[in-house]
Amino acid sequence: MANALDGIKVLDLSRLAPGPYCSMLLADFGADVTLVEAIPGSSAKLGAGPRNTEGAQRAAAYNALGRGKKSIALNLKDEAAREIFYEMVRGADVVMEGFRPGVVKRLGVDYEALAKINPRIITCSVSGFGQTGPYSQLVGHDINYISVGGALGVTGRPGQKPSIPINLVADFAGGGLMAAFAICLAIIAREKTGRGQDIDIGMSDGVLSLMTSAFTSFFGQGQAIRPGAFLLNGAAPFYDVYECSDGRWFSLGSIESHFYEALCRILGLEEYLASQFDQSKWAEQKTKVAAVMKTKTADEWMELMSRYDICAAPVLEMENVVTNPHNLARGMVVEVDSPIGKVKQIGVGPKLSGTPGRPTHSAPIIGQHTDQILKAMGYDDARIAKLREAGAVG
């Protein structure tokens, strides 16, 4: 069966989570992704390190972000290594990078330089705050990008400090997912124009884009969302999490009137049927809901509520996520071939009927395919050895 991105060749210079997640998504759907990595020991950057040790093999096997990819180790500060990269660009479709703005230009691998070699090339830069603007040169991590993008400021409970989510919102959604989406758009656009283009992904931009709906009432009515004070972030008794008798947590999300009615009847709180959106009663109702929820375990509540039209689900801990029958039935836990045997990884999210995605093999060791790639380009063993001795390749 054909893959959606068969024939698309991607060169990935990125190191941290957003770029590798983006190229993992592309690889899962058939793109030919080659990691262009730092030579082990030549850089203090994350991603450079010893290779082909037992620990490195195990780390690669379980590194889902690197699955389905090849790896070549190049020192792009070396002229000979840059020439190798330029030759790879001639046959590539996409070049990704996640350096600070300006780095690729100093290395001579920016869009302007690469477009002269291959006018059809698409370049994609993923950075914290984008390539322009007063914050563009600032360092940061997910917590900083969700701060500027507005997501952290609406998360938490009233009167408490913001609750910090794991780095999903900026790194993976605002960064990696947005980048994969933009790359696919640029590939489609190239079919119309015949030319590639440069993509500028700022993770703070991506976070703010994810906040589009949240800002609707602010722009329209001047109403700002505060932590735990909005219907969808914990203010409502019917849209919140509650502790169960076994100490686990359970989520309720019964917003629509018919779902809400079923919830009230199951909980024995019919006195609140006519006052769903009476906010003056929300605090009182929350206290009563919390007391009732403490009378059963999370699994007991799930078994009961799933029989009725109630938007509800247990808050699954990681060990329960990967054994959950629904997640398993949806193919969201898979086994991937690796040098140490089959390993478990998270599966592919989008389900395409005609060209489904699938993980093919585990992540490579840094530079694992250097010789293979160079030989395919016409380099013989002696020339490769000379390049390696000079520190151009690894």
In a domain, 261, yes or no: yes
Q: How confident is the model at residue 48 (pLDDT cuts 50, 70, 90)?
A: very low
* H helical segments located in the chain: 18-28, 54-62, 79-90, 103-107, 111-117, 142-148, 178-193, 203-210, 216-221, 257-267, 282-293, 298-305, 318-321, 325-329, 370-376, 381-389
Residue 195 has pLDDT above 60, yes or no: yes
CATH number of the domain where residue 292 is located: 3.30.1540.10
Please state the φ and ψ torsions of residue 117, each to the nearest 5 degrees: -80, -40
Same domain? 62 vs 151: yes
Q: How confident is the model at residue 222 (pLDDT cuts 50, 70, 90)?
A: very high
Same domain? 103 vs 183: yes
Same domain? 299 vs 194: no
Name the domain boundary from 287, 314, 341. 314
Share of the chain above pLDDT 90, in %: 95
- Let me know: does 166 contact 155? Beta carbons within 8 Å: no
Same domain? 281 vs 202: no
Same domain? 272 vs 332: no
Same domain? 200 vs 253: no
In a domain, 3, yes or no: no
In a domain, 116, yes or no: yes
β-partners of residue 122 are 94
In a domain, 225, yes or no: no
Name the domain boundary from 314, 347, 365. 314
Residue-wise pLDDT tens digits, 319-344: 999 999 999 999 999 999 999 999 99
In a domain, 196, yes or no: yes
pLDDT at site 51: 59
In degrees, rounded to 5, the angle at the alpha carbon of residue 117 between the alpha carbons of residues 394 and 193 is 125
pLDDT at site 50: 47
Cα–Cα distance for residue pair 44/376, rounded to 1 Å: 30
Same domain? 129 vs 193: yes
pLDDT at site 390: 97
Nearest alpha-carbon partner for 30 in 355, 362, 350, 373: 355
Q: Is 360 exposed, middle or buried (0-12, 13-18, 19+ CB in 10 A)?
A: middle
pLDDT at site 53: 84
Number of folded domains in the chain?
A: 2
Residue 23 has pLDDT above 70, yes or no: yes
Same domain? 160 vs 294: no
312-314 β-sheet, strand order: 239-243, 249-253, 312-314
In a domain, 88, yes or no: yes
Residue-wise pLDDT tens digits, 230-281: 999 999 999 999 999 999 999 999 999 999 999 999 999 999 999 999 999 9
Residue-wise pLDDT tens digits, 62-117: 999 999 999 999 999 999 999 999 999 999 999 999 999 999 999 999 999 999 99
β-partners of residue 123 are 95, 198
CATH number of the domain where residue 358 is located: 3.40.50.10540
Same domain? 67 vs 183: yes
Q: What is the mean pLDDT of residues 354-363?
A: 97
In a domain, 287, yes or no: yes
Residue 44 has pLDDT above 90, yes or no: no
Residue-wise pLDDT tens digits, 284-332: 999 999 999 999 999 999 999 999 999 999 999 999 999 999 999 999 9
Task: Please provide the average confidence, as pLDDT, over all residues in the chain.
Answer: 96
Range 78-82, long-range pairs (CB < 8 A, 24+ positions): 78/390, 78/391, 78/392, 80/387, 80/390, 80/392, 81/387, 81/392, 81/393, 82/107, 82/108, 82/109
Active-site annotation, residues: 141, 171
Same domain? 268 vs 179: no
Q: Which residue has the tokens 């992540």?
A: 363
Same domain? 170 vs 289: no
Note the Cα 155 to chain centre separation in Å.
20
Please give the residue range of the domain that contains residue 259.
231-243+249-314
Cα–Cα distance for residue pair 350/78, rounded to 1 Å: 40
Name the domain boundary from 267, 283, 314. 314
Same domain? 298 vs 340: no
In a domain, 144, yes or no: yes
Q: What is the mean pLDDT of residues 40-63?
A: 71
Q: Tell me which DSSP letter residue 273 carries.
A: G
pLDDT at site 2: 85
